[in-house]
Structure 1
Amino acid sequence: MYALVDCNNFYASCERLFRPDLQGRPIVVLSNNDGCVVARSAEAKRLGIKMAVPLFQVQEQIDRENIAVFSSNYALYGDISARVMTVLEQQAPAIEVYSIDEAFLDLNGLETNFPLVEYGLQLKQRVYQYTGIHVSVGIAPTKTLAKLANHAAKQYPATRGVVDLSDPLRQRRLLGLLPVQEVWGVGRRLSRRLNQQGVSSALALADCDAAWIRSHYSVTLERTVRELNGQPCMALEECPPPRQQILCSRSFARRITEYRDMRSAIAQYCSRAAEKLRQQGGLARVVTVFIRTNPHSQLETFYSHSASRMLSIPSADSRLLSATAHALLQSIWKPGFRYMKAGIMLSDLYPSGSFQPTLFDAPESPAAMRLMQAVDNINRSGRGQVRFASEMLSSGWQMQRNRLSPAYTTRWDQLPVVRA
């Protein structure tokens, strides 16, 4: 048995957590550079605010309906997510953190001690008591069914936020109510193909012959069909596999025309990518840098270029990776363009200590790794930041976040204050 625990309207709930004056008020959270709506509270959804709609298209409605608008506060969301996951880890034998606001729990054996619906309700209460975040719980014998159970827990208020699909008859009743595009892993394009074959509901997909699905679609969809019939095909991943590549990239708040600005952006992206690489205990052998202008502009010439370099020895040293990225940027930079986006990718990754150098290549210095570890410890402590000088050449390219809320839980100077 699995439980999928999903935080309700997570980004909006985090913004409301330290703002009791926002109770009942519609909330929307914006994407990078305050461009589009990426999260909505239940009140904003009822007003018809669509996901991914550009801010300027709904600005009039926002003003009319007194909707609270926030820039994405990743520091706050990440910290609240960690607190929620810590609570969940205390309530189940094993847990897979699936995303910032979702986690699968292993419930095998718990059903012999008490009803699973009761367990789900207690879990909801515990998470809310300890973090202030409301969650929904879907329980089922497979992860795909648990996803659908969680969807039903959110859709039907009578469930009190918990749906148990242990009963096969209840599974089929719910599958018959849901369109096939609601099934985990069935996207818009795949659902159109299935609809053309007469498969329009989740139940119709479950009733398909698994061998036919495999021959006409893929083994992945075959696993989905088996999971819809209660046959577990996806195990819990307590330790997610290391990423095969690490990408750091963002659109700029304004167009970049100066090399100094671009070098600063690439240096900061490289430092962030290297930090992620060290967090998973990896080394990178290939560094790639790319830059591009706006591909949709009819008034400007489009320019896009990338360059890669293979290191003789894989490394996680920010100094070496940054120097390599700078050299690559020099090779592709062209003046006279208004650049909209840039990024860096680290690939050909190795676990630390697993790469065998040649007789003429010196392995990475232990002193260098100790230095990088010290830098990471300082940066994670919340008491200071160590940055490379190249990251501070310019700040004009930084992401626009004009509606950013305080980092209530991760910065001493932004802790919430209660006044008598």
Structure 2
Amino acid sequence: MIGLIDCNNFYASCERVFNPKLEGKPIGILSNNDGCVIARSNELKPLVPMGMPAYQIEANIRKQITLLSSNYELYGDMSQRVFDTVSHYTADIEPYSIDEAFIKLVGFNDVTTHCQHLRAIVKRDTGIPVSIGIASTHTLAKLANHIAKKQPIYQGVYCLPNDSALLDQILKSFPVDEIWGVGRRIAKRLQTLGIHTAWDLRQANLKQIRQQFSVVLERTILELQGINAIELDDIATPKKNIMTSRSFGQLTGELFDLQEAIRIHASRGAEKLRQQKSIANAVLVFLKTNQFRQDLIQYNPSIVVPLLSPTDDTRVIIHAAQQGLTAIYKKGFLFMKSGVMLLDLKAKDSFCQSDLFALNNLPVLQQKNDNLMKTIDTINQKMGKNTIQLGGSRKTAPWQIKRERLSQRYTTRWDELPLVK
């Protein structure tokens, strides 16, 4: 069985861990340069729509809510703490985003009881509430997690049954545009074919779907049928985070090797970002040692590097990724894997004006950057992958981001540690 662990209202939950006064209060997290609302607590959702520019929030509502700047240092570290906690109680964990991870549930007589226990431990040890969906495939686990989060009767954990009338009933009530990896554009095309629910998609003709759409959607159908067919890198439709990672052919502790790998991951991630017409707000970098080598000391760091303004520029993303690698790298460890995750993705044609005119992102310069990235992508598509690639990034002064409502970085700065009175 596969489980999906999803941190509930993650950014708001991170803020509440160190500021209990925010518990039960409407909280909004703002984009870089305090532009738009990019995350909301449950209490804020009826009051402020996602993506609303902060200046457009009515004065009477602003009095009732708390708006905070994006504290990526805190969120990245809390994410690592959650996943580290989970890794002690499960054989295999694969992060999917900063607040989601898939786990393999092998060897448990009662997976639901185990996940309820795991959920309680994560809350106790990190303060972050999570929901866990359990099923036989990644796609069904995402669906199960949706039920676990939305229906309080299951207390945050739901195991989707196989081959039962109840499963059929659930699939018939689940809209096709909410299926993991489908997306709105594909959903509209499916609806013209009479496919409106997860059940409809499950019954669709595999050959026809592959011809008219893609092999990825064909695999989604197989997953809905209970057949494991999808790896995390297979999902090509727009999503809120993009991760690129690979295991090494052999262990290495050389900084040069890691810099090269991170540069490749960052470049590939930026290319995927442009393919789905999105921009990223931050970059997460991580390294992994081999947990099965008991003779080696272990070190599995990660760090989140905020970007000055949302971007899809390969140069900026590589530079941020290399900054992150420099911050977490330590000599004396042999690493088996590295990766880059692009966080808080937004549609490029819909991000708010306050971010559009951010420092060093003026419209004329932005158009030139867009043309350069488009030219690189076009040449690589015509002449072959990596025909043009960036070999490095320039050293520049630290980026200064407007974050006037920033909470303390409680877990990553000595001078901002929480005080106990």
Q: Shorter-chain-normalised TM-score: which range?
A: 0.5 to 0.7
Distance 1:268 1:34 in 2: 20
Preserved contact between residue 81 and residue 100 of structure 1 (Cα < 8 Å): yes
Provide the TM-score with structure 1 as the length reference: 0.67
Match of 1:20 in 2: 20
Amino acid at match of 2:23: Q
Distance 1:301 1:275 in 2: 26
- Written as runs of structure 1 = structure 2, the 5 A alignment for 1:181-196 is 181-196=177-192
Taking a change above 3 Å as real, the CA distance of residues 171 and 348 of structure 1, as seen in their structure-2 partners, is: farther
Are 1:148 and 2:138 an aligned pair?
no
Preserved contact between residue 244 and residue 268 of structure 2 (Cα < 8 Å): no
Are 1:305 and 2:368 an aligned pair?
yes
Distance 2:28 2:325 in 1: 32
Q: Deviations over 1:355-407 (max 9, x none)?
A: xxxxxxxxx9xxxxxxxxxxxxxxxxxxxxxx96x516xx7xx3211100000
Taking a change above 3 Å as real, the CA distance of residues 87 and 29 of structure 1, as seen in their structure-2 partners, is: same
> Equivalent of 1:245, from 268, 289, 293?
268
Are 1:272 and 2:272 an aligned pair?
no
State the Cα distance separating 1:302 from its structure 2 match: 3.9
State the Cα distance separating 1:130 from its structure 2 match: 0.5
User: Aligned with 2:38: secondary structure?
Assistant: strand
> Equivalent of 2:397, from 378, 382, 391?
391
Taking a change above 3 Å as real, the CA distance of residues 15 and 207 of structure 1, as seen in their structure-2 partners, is: same
Match of 1:416 in 2: 418
Sequence identity (%): 42
Amino acid at match of 1:36: C
Q: Deviations over 1:160-187 (max 9, x none)?
A: 1111013322322211111101100111
Distance 1:273 1:130 in 2: 29
Match of 2:159 in 1: 164
Preserved contact between residue 139 and residue 220 of structure 2 (Cα < 8 Å): yes
Q: Deviations over 1:172-214 (max 9, x none)?
A: 2211111101100111111111111111111111111212211
Taking a change above 3 Å as real, the CA distance of residues 92 and 346 of structure 1, as seen in their structure-2 partners, is: farther
Distance 2:97 2:118 in 1: 18
User: Aligned with 2:389: secondary structure?
Assistant: strand
Distance 1:212 1:270 in 2: 40
Amino acid at match of 1:227: E
Preserved contact between residue 112 and residue 159 of structure 2 (Cα < 8 Å): yes
Distance 2:124 2:404 in 1: 32
Taking a change above 3 Å as real, the CA distance of residues 16 and 277 of structure 1, as seen in their structure-2 partners, is: closer
Q: Deviations over 1:226-260 (max 9, x none)?
A: 1001010025789933625365987868xxxxxxx
User: Aligned with 2:103: secondary structure?
Assistant: strand
Preserved contact between residue 8 and residue 134 of structure 1 (Cα < 8 Å): yes
> Equivalent of 1:348, from 389, 401, 420?
389
Structure 2 gaps of 5+ residues are 234-242, 247-260, 271-278, 282-306, 330-336, 340-352, 377-385
Distance 1:75 1:200 in 2: 40
Preserved contact between residue 95 and residue 236 of structure 1 (Cα < 8 Å): no
Match of 1:44 in 2: 44
Taking a change above 3 Å as real, the CA distance of residues 347 and 175 of structure 1, as seen in their structure-2 partners, is: farther
Preserved contact between residue 75 and residue 410 of structure 1 (Cα < 8 Å): yes
- Written as runs of structure 1 = structure 2, the 5 A alignment for 1:41-120 is 41-45=41-45, 47-64=46-63, 66-110=64-108, 113=109, 115-120=110-115
Distance 1:128 1:217 in 2: 41
State the Cα distance separating 1:305 from its structure 2 match: 2.0
Distance 1:229 1:417 in 2: 52
Distance 2:72 2:193 in 1: 42
User: Aligned with 2:368: secondary structure?
Assistant: strand
Q: Deviations over 1:259-303 (max 9, x none)?
A: xxxxxxx99876434345777779xxxxxxxxxxx9989xx9845
Distance 1:347 1:245 in 2: 12
Match of 1:402 in 2: 404
Amino acid at match of 2:413: R
CA RMSD, Structure 1 to Structure 2 (Å): 3.6
Amino acid at match of 1:416: P
Distance 2:126 2:387 in 1: 35
Amino acid at match of 2:215: V
Structure 1 gaps of 5+ residues are 254-265, 283-293, 311-344, 351-363, 365-386
Match of 1:203 in 2: 199
Distance 1:179 1:201 in 2: 4
Match of 1:229 in 2: 225
Match of 2:290 in 1: none
State the Cα distance separating 1:56 from its structure 2 match: 1.6
Match of 1:321 in 2: none
Match of 1:331 in 2: none
Preserved contact between residue 26 and residue 43 of structure 1 (Cα < 8 Å): yes
User: Aligned with 2:52: secondary structure?
Assistant: coil
Preserved contact between residue 153 and residue 161 of structure 1 (Cα < 8 Å): yes
User: Aligned with 2:39: secondary structure?
Assistant: strand
Match of 2:134 in 1: 139
Match of 1:33 in 2: 33
Match of 1:260 in 2: none
Which is higher, the Rg of structure 1 or of structure 2? 1
Preserved contact between residue 9 and residue 41 of structure 1 (Cα < 8 Å): yes
User: Aligned with 1:5: secondary structure?
Assistant: strand
Q: Deviations over 1:30-77 (max 9, x none)?
A: 1111111111111112x242111111222425324x111100000000
Provide the TM-score with structure 2 as the length reference: 0.67
